[in-house]
Amino acid sequence: MPGVQIRLKDKGFEPDDDMNADIGELCCKHEYGFDGYVDENGNNNRLNMMSQSDWFKTGDLGRIQQNGHIEVLGRCDHSVNRNGLLVLFADIEKAMEKIEDTERVVVVAKGESKRGQRIVAFCVPSQGATLSSDQIRSACFERLPNYAIPDDVFVVSSLPTLPNGKVDRQALLKMAPSR
C-alpha cells in the first residue's frame, strides 16, 4: 500500500531499530496515522499501541517473507516463549484437535514453569466420547514437540464464549488453577 511502512518488533526493540527477527509483532506507520482508540468513556486510549517512534503495534505476530508478502501467524498474546522457542497456541490447538474424539481445543498461558509460561489446554470431547486429561496429554507426545506439550489439560463439556461468539479466554484463565 502506498505510504505504508511495515516492520517487525521484537521484545526490547523498537520497530525502527535495525533488527533481523524472523518473527515478531507487526507494526505499521503511515503519514495519516492515528492517536489511538476512543474507549467506552470517550477517552483517547493509546494502550501501548504506539511505540516511542509512533509505529502502530498491531498485536499480530507475523513475518515478512522474502517476496515482501506479510504472513500473519496469530495474536501476540496467543503465543509463549518456551525454552527459548516461540510456541503458537494455534499450532498446539490444531495438533490436539487431531486427537481421536477431540472436537475443540483452546490453549492459554497461566503461571510459570521451569520452561517458561505454563501452557494450559481446554479440550471439548466429541459428542458421546469420554476422554481423560491423561489420555489427551499422552496423545500430545505423538503430535507435538516436547517444548509445546501442555503442562495441564482439562476436559470440559463446553467453552465459555463472549457475546460476539469468540471463546472467552479470560474466563478460561479463571478456570485454570494457579500453580
Count of structural domains within the chain: 2
| Residue whose cell numbers read 488453577 | 177
Domain-embedded: residue 40 = yes
Do 171 and 95 reside in the same domain of the chain?
yes
Which of 121, 126, 73, 119 has its CA nearest to residue 102? 126
pLDDT in tens, 119-157: 999 999 999 998 999 999 999 999 999 999 999 999 999
Do 30 and 91 reside in the same domain of the chain?
no
Q: Is 119:92 a contact under the CB 8 Å cutoff?
A: yes
pTM for the model: 0.70
Domain-embedded: residue 115 = yes
Domain-embedded: residue 74 = no
Do 58 and 91 reside in the same domain of the chain?
no
60, β-bridge pairs: 75
pLDDT in tens, 81-94: 787 778 889 899 99
Give the pLDDT of residue 19: 44
Supply the DSSP symbol for 18.
-
To which H or E segment does residue 86 belong?
strand 85-88
Say what angle helices 133-143 and 89-96 make with each other, to 10 degrees: 110
* Average pLDDT for the chain: 81
Give the pLDDT of residue 62: 82
pLDDT in tens, 45-76: 555 555 556 777 777 778 888 887 888 887 77
> Is the pLDDT higher at 22 or at 131?
131
Query: Phi and psi (nearest 5°) for 11?
Result: -50, 130
Supply the DSSP symbol for 4.
E
Do 92 and 50 reside in the same domain of the chain?
no
pLDDT exceeds 60 at position 21 = no
Mean pLDDT, range 24-34, rounded to an integer: 75
Mean pLDDT, range 101-117, rounded to an integer: 87
Using 50, 70 and 90 to split pLDDT, how confident is the model at 18? very low
Domain-embedded: residue 112 = yes
Domain-embedded: residue 38 = yes
Domain with residue 158: its CATH number is 3.30.300.30
Domain that holds residue 48: 4-68
Which of 24, 16, 19 has its CA nearest to residue 61? 24
Do 88 and 158 reside in the same domain of the chain?
yes
Burial class (CB in 10 A: 0-12, 13-18, 19+), 25: buried
Using 50, 70 and 90 to split pLDDT, how confident is the model at 113? confident
> Counting every residue, how long is the chain?
179
Among residues 23, 44, 68, the one where a domain terminates is 68
How many Cβ atoms from other residues are within 10 Å of residue 22's Cβ? 9
d(CA 137, CA 55): 41
Using 50, 70 and 90 to split pLDDT, how confident is the model at 16? very low
d(CA 23, CA 142): 26
